[in-house]
Each structure stands twice: as C-alpha cells, then as structure tokens.
Amino acid sequence: VGPNDSPERHAADTVAAGDGLCDEPAVSVLVDDGPRYVRELIEWGARFDRDPEGRLDLAIEGAHSVRRVLHARDATGREIGRVLAGRIVGVESVTVIDHALAVGLIVEDGRVVGSTFVGQDGRFAEVRARATLLATGGAGQIFRETTNPDVATGDGVALAWMAGAQVVDLEFVQFHPTALAVPGAPRYLLSEALRGEGARLINRDGEAFMARYDPMADLAPRDRVARAIVLESERTGAPVYLTLQGLSPEVVRARFPAITELCARVGLDLATDRLPVGPAAHYLMGGVATDLDGRTSVPGLYAAGEVACTGVHGANRLASNSLLEGLVFGGRAGLAMRESEPTGGLPDAAPARSRSASGRSNRAALPLTEEALRDLAWRNLGVFRDDALLSAALEVLDPAAEVAAGMARDASLSDPSMWRLMSLVTVAQLVARAALRREESRGAHSRTDFPLRDDLHWKRRLFDAQT
C-alpha cells in the first residue's frame, strides 16, 4: 500500500527470499489481492499505526526492498485477530465452540465430511459438513527452541496426513534468527522490525559481524542471518547479541512496547542492554498442499494459513508475508467452500453429536516423551542438517509415528497431551523425511553434506502422501 511500492516489487522480494522455489501464480495472487484484503480489514476497524500526518506508517524488515509492512505497534497479529473475531460475533450462521480440540477428520467414500473433536467437557463429538477447513497454524512446538505458542503442534498437518491428503515442502522450517536466548526463559521473539529500525547484531567483542557473512548484513533474509549467528557463536565460543544502543531509548520504547515488556520480564532493558539472541523454530513454510483456493488433494477438505502450503513462500518466507497469506488465501478458501458441491445430502454443518471418551491414556505406548522428541528435533532437524543426523532421527521417529497412527485410528483417547504428542511425532517424522530427501541446501534447508543449491536436480517441490 506504500507510495513507492507495487505488487511487482513485492512479488520480486517474495520470490528472491523464496530461493527459487516460490509458486509464482500463488505469489501473484498474494500481491495482487493483498491490498484489497488489507483495505477491507481497515474498513472493518483494524487500527494500524500511522505517522503524525495520519498516513499509514510502514516498517521495513529483512529482505524487503522498501518500507511496506503495516503494523499495530508490535502486536499486529493480535490486532488482526481482534477485528476478525469481532466480525464473527453476531453472524447467525456461525456457531463457535471454544476450546475444542480437533482430533480427527471423518472420511467417507474418499471425501472429508467433517471432524471429530474433544470438547471442554472431555467428551468426544463430531461435526459433519460438506466443506471442512483446517486453520490450525504452525508446528514450532516440535522443536525445543521455538518462538511459537504452546498450541502450535502441527495438528492440522497430522490430521490431513492421516486422512490421506498431500503434504509438501515440509523440509523448509524457518528458524528466526533473533529469539531472546536467556537460559530458563521462553524464547521471546525479538522482531526483525528491530533491525529494520537500526538494531545491530554484535559478537562478544562488540563487533557488528553480519557484513562478514552477507552483503545484506543485518537485513539479509532470515535463513542467512540464522546461519551466520550459529557460525559466529561457534567461532567465538560465546553468545551473539542484539543491540539497540545507537537508537533513541524513548523511540524504541514507544515503537516496541510489547518487546520492551518481554525483555523487562527477564531483567533486560530493550533500549540499552545487549540482548543475547539465537535462532528458534518460527514458521513452517511447508504444510498441507493446497491450490489457490485452499483445496487440498482430498475432496471436501480445505486448509488456509500456516497449516497450508500454497507454495507462496518457497524455501524461505519473506518476513510478514504470513499474516497477509492468511488473509488472502483464507478469504479465497472461504469463497470456494461456499461454492463447494453439496454431496450425499450433507447439510452445510450439522449440530455436534457427542459421546464419552474412553478415559484411556495409552501414554506408555509411545516410545518417547515430548521433551525427548523436541530435543531430538532441535539437534537433528535444526538449522544445520546432514544425512547422519536425519537418518538417526528417523530411526526414532519412524516407529514412534507408526504407533501414533495406530492410536489415532483407535480415536478414543481422552488425554489431550497424548493427541498433542501424536501430532508432534507425526509432523517431526514428515519434516525429517523431507529433509533427508532433499540433497541440496536451499532457503531455510541447510545440508552440511550438500552445501550448494542444485537447481538441476532439486528445483522442484517434494510432495508426500500416504499410499
């Protein structure tokens, strides 16, 4: 929406960050439809930050060639969520069932006809519908180090996989370079917008080292900054820091109040302290394969947002394209679902029917704990990978995923932590499989045994599905 910006320029930045693997028709949809959806959001009441003249205040983040990122201080997603949640209230045809955990998709004659879930009361229920949309977000929780909330367990990917849907690009996990790395504290995200405003990465000697690793220095794409941080930290044997010491403390605190508050929780001052940072799993570029209208490979099943993979991000997402992707492709999926064929007399959505859960937990059946799984994923599927690490991970994950699939078919467990672990195991296995198959380095996928990008063999996307 900026005066010196255009869809073409936004597309060029998106494709450059995606390292040769973006689906270009999907990118065109994103950048062409994007402004319309953003304007609609503003009409619905979204309050993005403005400059003193009342013009939208645009931020710049890594790998963007111009200032283009709308923001609501440093909690943009929350503002978008506030507006969208507010729109739902009062729409008569929408019934909201809060805190329900979707645990299965109902497949009949090769078509998804609804979903099973465990309600807040611990009872199983099902909803039948002629179109079902997965919007369960990402899977950062498979890694020990992550910026993602607790609920980002990849459930939608696991559910779709078990229902026979295609998944794609799962080797591409974005590791955000600057999660706050204070031992024992959560990995709070120190947004890229900080570097956009002039924050610098420094080593223990105070040297701004990024230019030694990358011509774009601190504003290089996330994958390259994340790798540089790991290498610099290994070289010096010490942590790497983010510093905002060159900026006005008042401006920093006014522009980034939420991050200021997060730093204060661990005794650090965002504006004046050196902040220890390191990479953490942040975003899943891959996911359930969809077309440009959210359709998966299984009739009746749609997906949008981080759980879906339209191909728009390629091998590495351009910062802030995710919320836009959710808006644009979520909107398109909604329209497509409305037009979907009524089949077999199914209503748009039938009221939920419920039954008691068995109360069994089967905890002993899965051969690893959540903690062990997240540790394994971080060590073996993290920023740098190779054949030995990935194969070793699969030796643990393959049998565990088989047990998880059996338990999911049983579908009578009432213990939410078991469903969570089953999703984590399933998605971790899919990530490891994909990462082992792709014998090159591209975007966020870095193989130390295949350090170069290899367009001849690998300029293609890897789809996977259960046979």
Query: In the bound complex, what is the minimum distance in angstroms from residue 275's beta carbon to ligand FAD?
Result: 15
Q: 280 has which bridge partners? A: 176
Amino acid at 277: V
Least Å distance, CB 4 to ligand FAD, is 21
Smallest distance, ligand FAD to C-beta of residue 320, A:
4
Q: Which two tokens stand for residue 310?
A: 């339209």
> Which residues, 95 to 134, sit near ligand FAD by CB under 6 A?
100-102
- Binding window for ligand FAD (CB under 6 A); candidates: 21-29, 30-38, 145-153, 233-241: 145-153
What is the signed CA dihedral for 279, 282, 286, 290, rounded to 10 degrees? -160
How many CA atoms lie less than 13 Å away from 110 in the CB half-sphere?
A: 2
Please pick, among 111, 200, 222, 438, the residue that the annotation labels catalytic. Answer: 222
| DSSP reduced 3-state for 12 | helix
Q: Is 76 in the site for ligand FAD (CB under 6 A)?
A: yes
Any contact of residue 155 with ligand FAD (CB under 6 A)? yes
Residue of the chain from 18, 326, 382, 443 that contacts ligand FAD (CB under 6 A): 326
Query: Least separation, in Å, of the C-beta of 273 and ligand FAD?
Result: 20
Q: Which helix (H) or strand (E) holds 29?
A: helix 24-43
Question: Candidates 149-157, 166-174, 291-299, 426-434 — which segment interacts with ligand FAD by CB under 6 A?
Answer: 149-157
Stretch of residues binding ligand FAD (CB under 6 A), selected from 147-155, 240-248, 348-356, 357-365: 147-155
Q: Is 48 in the site for ligand FAD (CB under 6 A)?
A: no
Which residue from 170, 189, 259, 393 is in contact with ligand FAD, where contact means CB under 6 A? 189
Nearer of residues 137 and 443 to ligand FAD, judged by Cβ: 137
- From residue 208 to residue 247, the character string flagging contacts with ligand FAD as x (rule: CB under 6 A) and all else as - is ----------------------------------------
222 φ/ψ angles, rounded to the nearest 5 degrees? -55, -40
Burial 52-70 (b: 16+ CB within 10 A, else e): eeeeebbbbbbbbeeebbb
Nearer to ligand FAD, 390 or 443 (CB): 443
Number of Cβ atoms within 10 Å of the Cβ of 102: 17
Task: Tell me whether residue 152 or residue 394 sits nearer to ligand FAD (CB atom).
Answer: 152
Active site residue 227: no
Determine which residue in the list 25, 77, 110, 122 makes contact with ligand FAD, applying CB under 6 A.
77
Backbone phi, psi, residue 278, to 5° = -160, 165
Classify the C-alpha dihedral 165-315-71-45 as positive or negative. Answer: negative
Asked if residue 138 lies in contact with residue 284, where contact means CB atoms within 8 angstroms, the answer is: yes
Of the pair 157, 401, the CB lying nearest ligand FAD is at 157
Taking CB under 6 A as the criterion, the residue among 143, 283, 302, 329 binding ligand FAD is 283
Provide, rounded to whole angstroms, the least separation between the CB of residue 147 and ligand FAD: 5
By CB under 6 A, residue 310 contacts ligand FAD: no
Give the Cβ contact number of residue 310 at 10 Å.
Answer: 28
Quick check: 37 binds ligand FAD (CB under 6 A)?
no
Q: What are phi and psi of 103, to 5 degrees?
A: -125, -5
Q: Does 148 contact ligand FAD by CB under 6 A? A: yes
Counting contacts by CB under 6 A, is residue 306 touching ligand FAD?
yes
Verify binding: residue 62, ligand FAD, rule CB under 6 A: no
Q: Does 425 bind ligand FAD (CB under 6 A)?
A: no
Exactly one of 18, 137, 196, 279 binds ligand FAD (CB under 6 A); which one? 137
The answer to whether 135 contacts ligand FAD (rule: CB under 6 A) is yes
What are the residues whose beta carbons fall under 8 Å from the beta carbon of 22, sequence distance 6 or more? Answer: 14, 15, 311, 312, 313, 314
C-alpha separations of 333 from 30, 82, 454 in Å: 13, 21, 34
In terms of CB distance, is 151 or 211 closer to ligand FAD? Answer: 151
Kindly report the backbone phi and psi dihedral angles of residue 294, in degrees, each rounded to the nearest multiple of 5, phi listed first. Answer: 80, 0
Q: How far apart are CA 131 and CA 111, in angstroms?
A: 10
Please tell me the count of residues contacting ligand FAD according to CB under 6 A: 24
For 181-184, the CB contacts below 8 A with 24+ separation are 181/239, 181/276, 181/277, 181/278, 182/266, 182/268, 182/276
Provide the binding-site residues for ligand FAD, judged by CB under 6 A: 76-77, 100-102, 135-138, 147-148, 151-152, 155, 189, 283, 305-307, 320-323, 326
> Active-site residues: which are they?
222
